[in-house]
Structure formats: structure tokens, C-alpha cells
Amino acid sequence: MKICFALTILSLVIAGAASAADINPVSHGLEIAGSSTVQPLAELVGELYHKKYGAPVRIKGGGTMAGIESVLSGAADIGLVSRALKDSEKAGLDYATIGHDAVVIIVNSGNPVSEMRRDQLVALFSGTARNWKELGGRDETVLLISKLPGRSTLELFEEYTALRHPSRAGKSPGGPISKSAYEIGSNLESATLVGGLPGAVGYVSMGTALSLIQEGMPLKILSLDGIKGTRENVINGGYPVRRDLNLVFKKANRKVKRFIGIFLEPEGQRILMDHGFIPAKGGRAD
């Protein structure tokens, strides 16, 4: 009887410990960090998770690299990554693609320019073209809004333009992004600056841009190389700067699986679509 009691207690302790480990290896809730593009989606999915399972979800931004590093260091259960994983990253991390996005070029809604070629974009962000007149716009100084290192939006932009952040320009044949550019972190920040400064130009997540424009943000998405930045063009592969939205993790434990599960369920995919992103399943939420 005593042995049975002791086993029962032990099993309970082990179960409790296992349960605690299941909830969070670091804390009692689910810790998430990473891309500002995915952050707003993760927050809404986190609310669904909390309602469904009762466990708290804590989400921080910081960018794609911050998400990867947080998971690798064990500071977070899930990393938000708004690009495809590199092979080196795939070696140490597992991932789930929850949707797709594109990086779009945005200007203030009052700017008469409505399309841009790659070479013009390079001329702007390398600092060669400093006035909108040079691109057929009005006489107004160009204000560049770029991104801080560690943001996948910057990486995609670098990949497309062959320009590099000044801190690593030596590695690029395309030269550096102009030092006069304001460097910011999140997509929202970028959109708020471009929306509030008449001569500004920036690059952000298409989903964020579409969602904010719908809310009244004075922005305009430029056609890039003659292709409009629409969800349809991203789905059909015509738009030149598209990317995957991933959740990365070291261990697919139950709470990670549950969280990813909600993201991939119709309700989660609806959140993606409502924010202007493309669902993981070929553009359909269910």
C-alpha cells in the first residue's frame, strides 16, 4: 500500500514535471519571438491558443534573426521567420510554413509615382537618385526608409536589389544601401514613416501594407518591374519578391504542435488572409 502510494506520488510528480515541461521549457507559457511581419498574426493566434488551452502566450518582435536565435538559445519555444530557411538553419531547426508574403515597395499616397523598375529602386536606395524628379515625380527630396540587420524584409530586399546593408556591403557587388537611409525595425514602423512623410520610400511586408492601407494608412504600393503588388500576383508567382512565412522550433512538443495546428486550421489561415497574407495552402484558408 505504501509502495502504491509512493508510486502514485512519484507518478504524479513525474507527470507534473512532464506537464510543466510540456507547457514551456523556459516558463509556464509559450514563448515566441521573431519577425515583426508574423508577430501580429502570432498574437491573434496566441489569443485563440490561450482561449483553447488556457496557457499564456508571450510574443516579442525583434526580427527574423532574433526569432531564430531565441529558439536556438532556448529563450523561445517558437521563432517567427518571414523567409525561407537557409540550409544551415534547417540543420538545427525544424519549421512549419504557415503562409506566404511578398516584400512591396511603398511610397506616400500623395506621391504621383506609381511604378518602379529594379534599376530605379537601386538608384534610390544606393543614394544615386535623391529627388523624385529624377524618377518622373515632383520636386521633392527622397527619404529612404530601410531596415535594420536581422530583419528578413531587409534580406529579401538585399537579395532582389543586390544592395547590402552598409555593415556588410563589402560582400556585395551591388554596393551599400545609402547611409542616409533611416533604419527601422518593424513593418509597422516603416509604414508609419512612409505614410507620414511625403517624400519617403520604403519596403515592407505586402500583408502589412495591404492591411494598413485598408485601415486608412496614406500609403501606395508601387508596381515592381511592371507587376502590381497584389495577392494574386504573389500566388501566381509573377511578383518578383515573395517569401515564405515560417514558424521554427527545436522540438515539436505538444504545445508547439497545438500552436502550429491553430495557425494551419481554417481560423488561423483566415487571420492570415485578413491581414493581406497568402495562406499556406495555395491561397485558400480551408
> At 264, phi and psi to the nearest 5?
-90, -10
Q: Please state the closest distance from residue 57 (CB atom) to another protein, in A.
A: 12
Cβ–Cβ < 8 Å for 224, 116: yes
Cβ-proximal residues to 125 (8 Å cutoff; 6+ apart), any chain: 144, 146, 157, 161, 163, 177, 178, 181
Binding of another protein by 192 (CB under 8 A): yes
Asked if residues 252 and 259 have their Cβ atoms less than 8 Å apart, the reply is no
Choosing from 31, 77, 189, 244, the residue that interacts with another protein (CB under 8 A) is: 189
Asked if residue 168 lies in contact with residue 154, where contact means CB atoms within 8 angstroms, the answer is: no
Alpha carbons 145 and 191: distance in angstroms, whole number: 9
Question: Helices 152-161 and 64-73, interaxial angle, to 10°?
Answer: 130
- Contact map string, positions 220 to 259, toward another protein, x by CB under 8 A: ----------------------------------------
The residue among 216 and 282 lying less far from another protein, judged by its C-beta, is 216
Lay out the site mask for another protein across 82-111 (x = CB under 8 A, - = otherwise): --------------------------x-x-
CB 29 to another protein: min, Å? 13
Instruction: Give the range of 54-62, 150-158, 254-262, 278-286 binding another protein by CB under 8 A.
Output: 54-62
Among 30, 31, 41, 62, binds another protein (CB under 8 A): 62
CB of 26 to another protein, least distance (A): 16
Task: Return the number of the residue (63 or 268) whose C-beta is nearest another protein.
Answer: 63
Per CB under 8 A, the segment of 2-10, 22-30, 210-218, 251-259 that binds another protein is 210-218
CB 105 within 8 A of CB 153: no
> Can you spell out the DSSP letters for 142-196?
-EEEEE-TT-HHHHHHHHHH--B-GGGGGG-TT-BPPTTSEEE-SHHHHHHHHHH
Residue 247, classed as helix, strand or coil, is strand
Closer residue to another protein in complex, CB, 175/199: 199
Number of residues that bind another protein (CB under 8 A): 31
- Identify the helix (H) or strand (E) that includes residue 231: helix 231-235
Task: Give the contact letters, 110-149, x = binds to another protein (CB under 8 A), - = no.
Answer: x--------------------------------x------
Would you mind telling me the total number of residues written for the chain in this entry?
A: 286
Residue 152 is a binding residue for another protein (CB under 8 A): no
Residue ranges in contact with another protein by CB under 8 A: 36, 39-40, 58-62, 108, 110, 143, 182, 184-186, 188-189, 191-198, 212, 215-219
